[in-house]
Chains A and B, each alone.
Chain A
Amino acid sequence: MKGYVWAVGATAACTLAGIAMRGRFDLVNIAMIYLLAVVIVALRYRRGPAIVTSMLCVAVFDLLFVPPQGRFTVDDVQYLLTFAIMLAVGLIISTLTESLRRQASAQARLEMQAETERMRSALLASISHDLRTPLAVMSGASSSLAERGERLSPAERQALAQSVFEQAREMSEQVSKVLQMTRLESGRLELERDWGSLGEIAGSVLRGLADRLATHRVIVELPEDLPLVRVDAGLIEQVLANLLENAARHTPPGTVVRLRAKLEGGEVVVSVEDFGPGLPEADVERLFDKFQHGVSEGSKGGVGLGLSTARAIVRLHGGRAWGEQLPGGGIAFRFALPLEEQPRLPAEAAA
């Protein structure tokens, strides 16, 4: 629609210019002005507006400038040629522009496909690397139970069954992380924001992760008067879970994992600090890349999505997530969420 408005506008502008030039310039030069209009419209818009501009220009040029003026009669054959050329130029340029546009969008599609392909192969490599071990454990342990069960002691049977259960849980966690990341990347994930309490979310995470965190000493330091935040509580719970799990996975058993929160300039900053070996600052940032594992930790498991997922979720909330080297060794992973004006609670009459 905009193209057609331009077609009319360009023709009108050329006509004004042509009228100003009349008498001092040849008709051919005025025709050139109209040709310019056709070229501009053809470059900017599709074929339709270009054709309309050519036709309008030819009609107006004929009507106003070519003798006899005021009538659609052409005395001189050479102006017929002018019209034909104008139409041809319009068509050629709009066709060229359109094919260029098509090529550009095809190129962009190809690049996106290449990126998706790259992601997919990284994902496959990661899956084959990180999910094969639990699968091998599960098929080995379960086949022992199924085929040789009667020769095993009850304690051995119990241990095998337990390891199948644990590995399956672990795999399910990883698969659900991959799914969640895919959902985040597709942009199809809509935040279901609601007033949430970070203390409550932390409590729920710690209960859910009790088994995995049992190897570490978890210290929780949350201020009494932590304000409420407007968040998708389920997703923020996942951020916290990923950070805590990450800390427990990559630091020696028995060390401290500390969960803290504080208010800082209109934001609430939540930190998960570990007291493991730490990493150089530059490598800490790299941990937020997808499928990125710390140095030589092949056997630690996990598909390397925890931190990148956490960051994607925090960013969706308008916040930031980053890692910091701690002075005494160890790493702090932090995220900041913007604070909003607190909702009001009607006062309750004293009992």
Chain B
Amino acid sequence: MTTILVVEDEPEIRRFLRSSLGAEGYRVVESPNARRGAIDAGTHKPDLAIVDLALPDFDGRELIRQIRQWSPMPIVVLSARHQERSKIEALDAGADDYITKPFGVGELLARVRVALRHAARSPSGTLLKLGAATVDLEKRRASRDGAEVHLTPIEFRLLACLASHLGMVVTQRQLLTEVWGPSHAAQTHYLRIYMKQLRDKLEADPVQPRYLLTETGVGYRLLADEDSP
């Protein structure tokens, strides 16, 4: 049975998470503060942790750092709106994704499923289906409506980096560091320009993309059609 650790100080939010995650067949372990969360993460060995960023004893980001020291378990962060910076810090501290309060249960379960699937899957095996477009990251080939599409090496690298976190957010810093190198971590305009190029080549409507999504101020998220490996 899949176990999910919920670290959240508000009892009413814990109650709602317990019942909605429980109804999906997950076993839920609840911790009311970060200290308890760190202990429960060690004793219950959950498959995934949901961590509120604003905890009463110490910061959720610190808890994420502690968990990351010994476990790669997926971590989904709960955060308030207008706090892009704390989201980014949580992601850079090792969280895999975030969800903004208030959220609906559908949104939450989708995040949880994606994060669990990501943890279970090996990162190779990379044929992306993006609507009418298909990208084979291994063979470095892309096509759209059957016709070949030329992607530059950087465009492939960018797609590969997003695909290795398929369905999850990747921060701008992570992308820039992985694709262009640590010395370019602040050159965010590279991302604006290359993401536009990729959307122009792969999306049916580049302004309203369905697959190459922007998480404004935080990073990007690549979605793919469900039957992708």
A203 touches B217 (CB 8 A): no
CB within 8 Å of B: which A183-216 residues: 183, 192, 194-197, 199-204, 206-207
In the complex formed, the residue of B with least CB distance to A196 is: B192
Which interface residue of B102, B154, B206, B216 has the most chain A CB atoms within 10 A?
Answer: B216
Report how far A12 CA is from B44 CA in the complex, Å: 83
Interface string of B197-222 (1 = CB under 8 A from A): 00000000011110001111100000
Q: Which residues of A contact B84 (CB under 8 A)?
A: 192, 234
In the complex formed, the residue of B with least CB distance to A206 is: B208
B192 touches A351 (CB 8 A): no
What are 18 A-B interface contacts by the 8 Å CB criterion?
Answer: A176-B81, A176-B82, A180-B82, A192-B84, A195-B189, A196-B192, A197-B196, A199-B196, A203-B207, A203-B208, A203-B214, A204-B214, A207-B208, A233-B216, A234-B217, A343-B189, A348-B152, A351-B153
CB within 8 Å of B: which A211-230 residues: 220, 222, 228
Q: Which residues of B contact A350 (CB under 8 A)?
A: 152
A200 touches B208 (CB 8 A): no
Interface stretch of the complex, out of A72-80, A165-173, A286-294, A316-324: A165-173
Report how far A207 CA is from B165 CA in the complex, Å: 21
Q: Which residues of A contact B213 (CB under 8 A)?
A: 203-204, 207
* Residue B121 CB within 8 A of the other chain: no
* Residue B193 CB within 8 A of the other chain: yes
Classify the secondary structure of A's interface with B: helix
A234 touches B189 (CB 8 A): no
> Which of A179, A197, A233, A349 is in CB contact (< 8 Å) with B217?
A233
A199 touches B189 (CB 8 A): no
In the complex formed, the residue of A with least CB distance to B194 is: A345
Least Cβ distance of B89 to chain A in Å?
13
Least Cβ distance of A190 to chain B in Å?
10
Q: Number of residues in B with C-beta < 8 Å to the partner? A: 28
> Which of A169, A192, A195, A199 is in CB contact (< 8 Å) with B207?
A199
In the complex formed, the residue of B with least CB distance to A194 is: B188
- CB-CB under 8 A for A197 and B192, given A192-B217, A204-B214, A206-B208: yes
Q: Which residues of B contact A351 (CB under 8 A)?
A: 150-153
Cβ-closest 8 pairs across A and B: A195-B189, A234-B217, A343-B189, A197-B192, A204-B214, A237-B216, A204-B216, A200-B214
In the complex formed, the residue of A with least CB distance to B213 is: A207
Least Cβ distance of A154 to chain B in Å?
16
Least Cβ distance of B110 to chain A in Å?
14
Q: Which residues of B contact A196 (CB under 8 A)?
A: 192
Q: A202-B207, A204-B213, A228-B192 are in contact. List 16 more A-B contacts (CB 8 A).
A: A196-B192, A197-B192, A197-B195, A199-B196, A200-B214, A200-B216, A203-B207, A203-B208, A220-B207, A228-B193, A234-B84, A234-B216, A343-B187, A345-B189, A345-B190, A351-B151
B216 touches A168 (CB 8 A): no
Interface string of A331-351 (1 = CB under 8 A from B): 000000000000101001111
Q: Which residues of B contact A232 (CB under 8 A)?
A: 217
